[in-house]
Amino acid sequence: MSADPEPTAELFQLDEATCLSLLTTQHVGRLVVNGDDPAVVTVNYLLVDGVITFRTEAGSRGDRADGQRVLFEVDMFDDRTRSGWSVLVRGRLAAMPLEDMSPCVDTWAPGVRDRRITVTPDVVTGRLLRSAPETTSQRAGGYL
């Protein structure tokens, strides 16, 4: 007796409008800064008029990256269904005083966050992974 073939998942490329819409559903993203000391920094953010906005400390890695090209990544995954999405933004970072910030982004990190950082998108791409329906019910013991 042969085993049933593994159900296949579906992978979709997302258009820019869908990606920007997905960015509004989350509040935590990852800023990727390149250079001599590359880093990935997790931040709380908002998408305001198509621009990613967050707060940081003066002198932080994000503040020091003023004017540089950066990446910003946001995702959401569901272990139960083995599905999710990811959005990647390529753009230019700008740092400015916090008083220029409206609306104000809530931040979970402690400390004084007196700098506003924006990432103006140049390219926005995304992917959606959706598992086959059989995969979900098999993983849940057939109860779905």
Residue 144 lies in a domain: no
- Assess if residue 113 is contained within a domain: yes
Mean pLDDT, the chain, as a whole number? 85
Q: Is residue 114 in some structural domain?
A: yes
* pLDDT tens profile 43-52: 999 998 999 9
For residue 57, being part of any structural domain is answered with yes
What range defines the domain where residue 43 resides? Answer: 10-139
Decide which of 139 and 69 is more confident. 69
**Tokens (6 digits) for 118:** 């924006």
> What CATH number did the domain enclosing 34 receive?
2.30.110.10
For residue 2, being part of any structural domain is answered with no
Each as own residue / partner, the long-range contacts of residues 60-65 (CB below 8 Å, 24 or more positions apart, any chain) are: 60/115, 61/33, 61/37, 62/31, 62/33, 62/93, 62/95, 62/115, 62/117, 63/95, 63/115, 63/117, 65/33, 65/35, 65/93, 65/95
What is the pTM (predicted TM-score) of this model?
A: 0.81
Helical residues (DSSP H) of 51-142, grouped into ranges: 61-64, 133-139
Q: Which residue has the higher pLDDT, 58 or 141?
A: 58
Closest CA to 97 of 115, 80, 110, 112: 115
3-class SS letters over 84-108: EEEEEEEEEEEEEEHHHCCCCCCCC
Q: Total structural domains in the chain?
A: 1
